[in-house]
Structure 1
Amino acid sequence: GYGCEAEVIFNHMYRVVDNDAEMVTVLEKVAADYYVETPPYLIAEDFSWYQQEIPGMFFFLGIRDEAKGYTYPLHSGKMKFDEVNLLLGIQTYVNLIAGLNENRGG
């Protein structure tokens, strides 16, 4: 309406993070007591570069604890979390590796 023109250039720096289906199936099994499926997120994540080379899976480790006031997001200067939660993350990886090996007959 005002005679303006614009040129838009999309610079796709990160590809879609596409979780390996086998890994997701095994995670659902080994983490059945605490696994929660979430809707897809529209976030930029360089993890997708790794997935171009090898199968992979990106998942979140829930650390929110409202009773302790640990409610701030990851990149907030106010973020706090109980480090014991990291042990669950490590054990999840151990169980995932064992489950993948079992699933593949190894």
Structure 2
Amino acid sequence: MKKRKVPLRKDIVTGEMHPKKDLVRVVKNKQDEVSVDATGKKPGRGAYIALDVKVAKRAQKEKTFDKAFGIKVGADFYDELVAYVDHQQARKELFGNDA
């Protein structure tokens, strides 16, 4: 069987390349609304962050998405992002890579 190529994306906080499934996509749409893209298919400008709570908290502290998207992102979004990453990280530990 032929080996499939694993798509890689860059984590905008650490600058490291990771497999796409180990990252979460954050998207900014045309109305300048920033949201977590769980499906990875929302339209708009996307940026990726690792599924690691420490990385999410670092993004919150450094206001990474403010810089990446060139707009002011609310603190509530960063709180939502940390909660989402924490939840996904817990799911991955519980269920392995199938989650």
Coarse TM-score class (shorter-chain normalised) = 0.3 to 0.5
Q: Identify, as 1 or 2, the structure richer in strand.
A: 2
Structure 1 length-normalised TM: 0.35
Which is greater in Rg?
A: 1
TM-score by length of 2: 0.37
Instruction: Specify which structure has the higher proportion of helix.
Output: 2
Question: Of the two structures, which has the highest relative contact order with CA contacts closer than 8 Å and spacing of 6 or more?
Answer: 1
